[in-house]
Amino acid sequence: MSEQNQNFRAGVKDWIKDNFPSTLKGQNPATVGYAAALEDDHDLWRQRLAEKGWGAPTWPKEYGGAGLGQREERTINDELSNADAFNPIPGIALMGVTMVGPTILDYGTEEQKIRHLIPIARGEVKWCLGLSEPGAGSDLASLRTRAVDDGDHYVVNGSKIWTSGAHQSQWCGAVVRTDPDAKKRNGISFVMLPMDQEGVDPQPIKLISGASAFCETFFNDAIAEKSDLLGPLNEGWSVVKRLLQHERQSQIGARTAGFRSEPMQDLAKRYIGVDGDGKLNDGDLRQRLTKHLIDRQAHSLTLARIAAEAKGKVEVSAAASILKNSATNVSQTRADLTLEIMGDQGLGWEGDTFDAKELETVRAWLYGMASSIAGGSFEVQYNIISKNILGLPETTQQG
Amino acid sequence: MAALTDEQTLMRDQAKIWASKQAPVNKFRAMRDSCIEQRFDAQTWSEIIEMGWTGILVPEEYGGSDLDYLAFGIVLEELGRHLTASPLFASALVGATALNIAGSGTQKQTFLPKIVDGSEILTLAIDESNQHAPADISLKAQVTDAGYRLNGKKGFVLEGMAATTFVVATRTSGEKGDTNGITLFLIPADSPGLKRELISTMDSRGYANISFEGVEVPADAVLGVLDQGWEPLDAILDRARAGLGAEMLGCAAQAFDMTLEYLKTREQFGEVIGSFQALGHRAAALFTGLELARSCAEAALQAIDEEAHNIPQMCSLSKSRLSDYLHEMSTQLIQIHGGIGMTDEFDAGFYLKRARALEGRYGNAGFHRDRYASALGY
């Protein structure tokens, strides 16, 4: 490690020590839930991070970030984790820090960047995204929600589905049809509109995991200001594509980082036991667990290889394109195996027959089924790899 | 591809150009058709020696370039793409590794310069049954007044017909299956009582069965320490496995490229077949597998170079991953090519046959998954 990096790390460590409220140790709302009794401390910590620009450290300072590189961002995350601390701002902002913000950085006007990015980076606003529709899932470009020009604003009508956190959000980034006569991918625009208005009605959808993180959101003559059109009119498809790239990027790390802390093999030994040679009692499970751990290590090594390629300034290989499906495969298999390892203890819904980890495993497994559907399904990713990376011709099937 | 040093990049470019121009698959085909007993062509081998690849792992004081396993892997990957036949892997990777790990000063001085200039070809003689089981050694080395007397057999010895010296794993005490009581020897191929016989394998590589009938060697033929050969043997095998991983990566990458090219050019039902989604998705899955396999193969070589604490785990990761992937890729190579893939005139069959031969060499996927699990303590 260079001296400069060491100094930066030491500075980060000191700052966290001086500023992180000790009452919040291990109280990351993303993993243990939000404790109302700690509200003041949570807000103080959020404000301190926001002042430092560490809600979104890689964003430019003038838009609420700290103007740092990815390496420094990793250092901050490492040191937060070492101090049993956390950055709550991406969680608070919902789609704001990971997806909407980076897309505004790419396509926004100066005025839009100032107006929207700063509150996101400070964790003062929640954003949702209106992408899929009941009739437009993997085939996103067949969307029908209309936005009609009405002088200084657009009037939006239609409905969006799987809008995560829409019932809590203040803003929505929505992809809408602005030219109904144009061909599928033309005539689409990306607008940003406030959720707190009469014409917007988010209705939570209960999922198989019991959670209601997603909504169907109805737009009835909702208003989007023209100053909130992101990117050029009728060229919103390219904005969406960029947005989805940011989404894939955010999913690669997040899904792998969300793993249980106890190594799988230890969990398996605890629940299943070992024979005289120290091998798992269930020989078939042992083999499948090993295949999974090898998949997982291959995935981590590929992440590391891409990082090394980027640093070594060799041409970054097409490997990046495979990461979403690989990450999904690893995380879903892991959840499936964890459940199997727990046996009947992996069937709990509620009640004290099961411990908290066991209950969490069931919910996480169910919720995780979405990871091969959302953000471009497993099959859509394969379409992207075969066409864009391997250069195979457009499929003759429609879609 | 791992981030390479300037030296490694140079080596890759040199290997890529040479192999595609001087040792393409039709050279391998010609060698197969000629039925040369040593199963490689002398001209190809002498060009490899000239380029210095036999010295990659040999310290400079013995005439080598003292580079690393990743550099060797890069070369093996390129040669693997074209199925280039030579004893480079057996002698300059496995043989040189054995001497570097276990050799005395005199043994290094005797053999390493000759590995570099090609006047010695070394190879490891290990397995005695039809499955890789490195501790299952029965070949006996008995103490005599002058040294040792060897009796027993070794099977499927790589480049066994061309080798001038065998690195032989023998039993000096204990029972078959014990890791204690194994001793390594350096045995000249022309020793009285040593017989070798070419095995005609489907992949046309130079394997031989070796029998030892009262082979007498002096005491200084022992490589390493009496009865304590297991530890170096395991380390030598791991480096061999990582090297095979790189060769298998090359085979697989070439099989993938051939398949992708065919998907883009072959027309059926009035369309290029790569436009069919079933095949597009299969290609995407194979590409994903290739990228993940590459990471494993390179990481094992790097772990050796960095003297990491988990070299056995990493080498088993590489060998099991590459065995699985090359199996699948070589099968799909035939399937996607359809009828033409079944013909001897087309090259696909060469890759299928080589794939199956390499999958089990020094441990198949199951062997290495078991080893990986044991390394992680379950």
Q: Return phi, psi of residue A20, to 5°.
A: -80, 120
Whether A72 is in a domain gets the answer yes
In B223-282, the residues whose Cβ lies within 8 Å of chain A are 260, 263-264, 271-272, 274-277, 279-281
DSSP-derived letter for residue A64 is T
Under an 8 A CB cutoff, do B295 and A274 touch?
Answer: no
Cβ-Cβ contacts under 8 Å for A206 (sequence gap 6 or more): A212
Under an 8 A CB cutoff, do A286 and B288 touch?
Answer: no
The boundaries of the domain holding residue A357 are: 258-389
Active site residue A247: yes
Active-site position among A3, A247, A350, A394: A247
Q: Return phi, psi of residue B285, to 5°.
A: -65, -40
Q: What share of chain B is helix, strand, coil (3-state, %, to 5)?
A: 55, 15, 30
Cβ-nearest to B277 among A293, A326, A397: A397
**Whole-structure pTM value:** 0.88
For residues A128 and B310, give the distance between their C-alpha atoms in angstroms, rounded to a whole number: 45
Whether A167 is in a domain gets the answer yes
Using CA of residue A346, residue A349, residue A353, residue A357, what is the dihedral sign? positive
Single out the residue in A170, A205, A239 at which a domain terminates: A239
For residues A12 and A25, give the distance between their C-alpha atoms in angstroms, rounded to a whole number: 17
Specify whether A229 is located in the same domain as A280: no
In A99-118, the residues whose Cβ lies within 8 Å of chain B are none
Specify whether A281 is located in the same domain as A334: yes
Residue bearing tokens 């992937």: B325
How many Å lie between the alpha carbon of A137 and the closest alpha carbon of chain B? 19
Count Cβ–Cβ pairs < 8 Å, chain A vs chain B: 133
Provide the domain count of chain A.
3
Residues of A in Cβ contact (< 8 Å) with B285:
382
Whether A197 is in a domain gets the answer yes
Whether A118 is in a domain gets the answer no
Specify whether A205 is located in the same domain as A270: no
Specify whether A224 is located in the same domain as A190: yes
Among B323, B352, B321, B322, which Cα is nearest to B336's? B352
Whether A175 is in a domain gets the answer yes
Q: Tell me, what's the pLDDT at A255? A: 40
Using CA of residue B7, residue B13, residue B16, residue B20, what is the dihedral sign? negative
Does B70 lie at the interface with A, CB-CB under 8 angstroms? no
Mean pLDDT of B232-255: 98
ipTM of the complex: 0.93
Mean pLDDT of B58-65: 98
Specify whether A37 is located in the same domain as A84: yes
Mean pLDDT of B210-220: 97
CATH code for the domain of A322 = 1.20.140.10
pLDDT tens, residue by residue, B263-309: 999 999 999 999 999 999 999 999 999 999 999 999 999 999 999 99
Written as tens digits, the pLDDT of chain A (399 aa) is: 578 888 999 999 999 999 999 999 988 887 777 788 889 999 999 999 999 999 999 999 999 999 999 889 989 998 998 898 999 999 999 999 999 999 999 999 999 999 999 999 999 999 999 999 999 988 888 999 999 999 999 999 999 999 999 999 999 999 999 999 988 889 999 999 999 999 999 999 999 998 888 899 999 999 999 999 999 999 999 999 899 888 877 766 544 433 446 899 999 999 999 999 999 999 999 999 999 999 999 999 999 898 888 776 555 567 777 898 999 999 999 999 999 999 999 999 999 999 988 998 999 999 999 999 988 899 999 998 999 999 999 865 544
Partners of A157 in the beta sheet?
A: A146
Residues of A in Cβ contact (< 8 Å) with B4:
312, 314
Whether A247 is in a domain gets the answer no
Whether A183 is in a domain gets the answer yes
CATH code for the domain of A219 = 2.40.110.10
For residues B52 and A10, give the distance between their C-alpha atoms in angstroms, rounded to a whole number: 47
3-state SS record for B203-243: CCCCEEEEEEEEEEEEHHHEECCCCECHHHHHHHHHHHHHH
Specify whether A234 is located in the same domain as A281: no
Domains of chain B, earliest start first = 6-118 (1.10.540.10), 123-227 (2.40.110.10), 231-375 (1.20.140.10)
Among A103, A110, A139, which Cα is nearest to A239's? A103
Does the pLDDT of residue B257 top 50, yes or no?
yes
**Contact of A293 with B376, CB cutoff 8 Å:** yes
Specify whether A272 is located in the same domain as A170: no
Alpha-carbon distances, residue A390 vs A383, B279, B284 (angstroms): 10, 12, 8
Partners of A203 in the beta sheet?
A: A216
